[in-house]
Amino acid sequence: MKYDVSMKNHIKYRPQYYPVSSEYTDWVKKDHIEKAPSWCSVDLRDGNQALIVPMSLQEKLDFFTYLCRLGFKEIEVGFPAASETEYEFVRTLIEKDMIPEDVKIQVLTQSREHIIRKTLDSLVGAKHAIVHLYNSTSFAQRQQVFRRSKEEITKIATDGAQLIKEIASEEIYKGTDFQFEYSPESFTGTEMDYAAEICNAVIDIWELTPDHPVIINLPATVELSLPHVYANQICYMDRNLHRRDSVILSLHPHNDRGTGVACAELGMLAGADRVEGTLFGNGERTGNVDIITLAMNMFTHGVDPKLDFTNMPQTVEKYEEYTDMKVSPRQPYAGELVFAAFSGSHQDAIAKGMKFREETDPNRWTVPYLPIDPHDVGREYDGDVIRINSQSGKGGVAYLIQRDHGFDIPKAMRSEVGYMMKDISDRNHEELSSDNIFEIFRKSYVNYFAPLDITDAEFTYGSSLKDEGNQQRVKVDMRVVVGGKEDENKEIYNLTGTGNGRMDAVSNALQKTKYNFNYKFITYSEHALSQDSNSKAAAYICIEDTNGRDFWGVGTHDDIILASVNALVSAINRMNDEDRFMN
């Protein structure tokens, strides 16, 4: 049998949403969100709805406490009428006085009398509670599932709203500050005029004032449109709800089209005051809107999100512990790899951006390729930002060696060191850590004392009026060891040499051995390894052999003069690896 892979089945799909006219599009003139919305976590509701193995009572209690620590002031704790675990969870929170004074718990109920009564029964003794009523309103649900008219669907909503109002006024709830919420479930598939009609019918039943508003929540129960269409729908509702000054307009986007965050952001621009969502977007099907991404997006624009994600690694750990789900390594702001730069050009730009920030304004963050400072979410530059593999460049390698170990490799040397690390990573098919990189660098370049070793060197300085240019002359007396590791195989020389400088004097002295040290100096640099007054010095020397090949050596010592000698020795020994001057 042959299968048609042309995807001609697209013809059976048609838009199922209801766009509004262009008069509801002026929100597009806004270019950023100016303040954080009210946040409502629905993690604990979807902790039972959307997990293969629902959370236990203790896990839900622990998760609730953690959500409070993150700064959530409204937390939907589930469907108390759905199961005994759900009901017991709400009662435990209340009876053990686990709800902070400034936090409201939210409970969800269908518009059915016995469910409403049990839901409210679970709230006896609560100080602050949101009762969230919903029923489905979309054309598809009315036509296919309920087979009822608009008037009949509206009556379901208003009957539920009236019953909630009556029960909440009973004496047993005298100490509870109730807030009511209504959701026309499947809002995105509902005709907009009807969505406004049913919401207004509920609003007209509930008593509300600007100081005691109701919540009208508009869920993208299933994402059906481009994000701007959803935002236009929110704008329509913003302008057509009764008593708008006493209504909190709330969003509950899902992520079926992968644009939940965009829908929420545009919805806020269009007039929404509140967002319901979950950590990392957990939820039914493709999930709810990801509150962490939303909050951190605001953070990058200089807006306080009013939630605390300063320890993102812990947030990832807690989420994975409670839900038994994994956070993707590419998850915005939180994934293991989101700050990692393997590309050479990216690494170079980040390194230069970090340096520019230090030199100009450490209080501003404009580093290329990093939308936020990893430190702001509890991540470290070490192992999080510059990462080295076969795709990396010279700049990233040099940056890590300088940042973590203090060696400021000369620019002319960086390509050689970078290609060395790339080749090792490529051959071994693995990433190199900062420690791996430095160990390779150290063994290859730093204080490389075999087969040649200058164990002692003493310099004296003088000048002669007869020398052209009155140039200073340098004399060195030094002890040189050449040979194998065993003492009986070593040759020891006590040499004296003079030259125009230290390295020239040392080179001239080496010529008095029987070995062929043919090279010329290309470049030299030095620096302290730290800012301490007793810091070691590092010196870098490049020499060229008779074939025109360059060899670098690095030397360290408490004395910068001896560090330079060690650098020269290292370069000569690296040349020996190629030329075998001892042969």
- The pLDDT assigned to 465 comes to 47
Same domain assignment for residues 465 and 395 = no
524 torsion bin: left (phi>0), alpha (psi -120 to 50), beta (else): beta
Q: Are residues 105 and 246 in the same domain?
A: yes
DSSP track, 494-543: EEEEEESSHHHHHHHHHTTSSS----EEEEEEEEESSSSTT--EEEEEEE
374 and 429 fall within a common domain = yes
Q: Residues comprising the binding site for Mg(2+)?
A: 46, 252, 254, 288
Same domain, 466 and 405: no
CATH value at residue 301: 3.20.20.70
User: Which positions make up the binding site?
Assistant: 46, 252, 254, 288
20 contacts 240 by C-beta, under 8 angstroms: no
In a shared domain, residues 128 and 243:
yes
Q: Is residue 414 part of a domain?
A: yes
Q: What is the CA radius of gyration of the chain?
A: 36
Question: Does residue 495 sit in the same domain as residue 348?
Answer: no
> Residue 493 belongs to a domain with what CATH number?
3.30.160.270
In a domain, 4, yes or no: no
Contact by Cβ (8 Å): 566, 556: yes
So what's the pLDDT on residue 468?
56
Structural contact between residues 45 and 77, judged by C-beta atoms closer than 8 angstroms: yes
pLDDT score of 581: 66
pTM score: 0.79
Count the domains in the chain. 3
Strands 274-277 and 520-528, bridge-based pairing? unpaired
Q: What is the dihedral of CA 27, 28, 31, 36, to 10 degrees?
A: 40
**Nearest-angstrom CA–CA distance, 354 and 410:** 18
Domain that holds residue 466: 452-579
Q: Which residues of the chain have pLDDT under 50?
A: 465
Q: Are residues 186 and 294 in the same domain?
A: yes
Identify whether the C-beta of residue 87 lies closer than 8 Å to the C-beta of residue 77.
no
Co-location of 45 and 163 in the same domain: yes
Domain presence at residue 109: yes
Q: Write out pLDDT tens, residues 333-387.
A: 999 989 887 777 887 888 889 889 999 999 999 999 999 999 999 998 766 676 6
* Cα-Cα-Cα-Cα dihedral sign, residues 108, 244, 264, 307: negative
CA atoms of 311 and 148, how far apart (whole Å): 50
Token pair belonging to 560: 């910068």
List the end-to-end C-alpha distance of the chain, in Å, as a whole number.
73
Nearest Cα to Cα of residue 230 among 197, 188, 186: 188
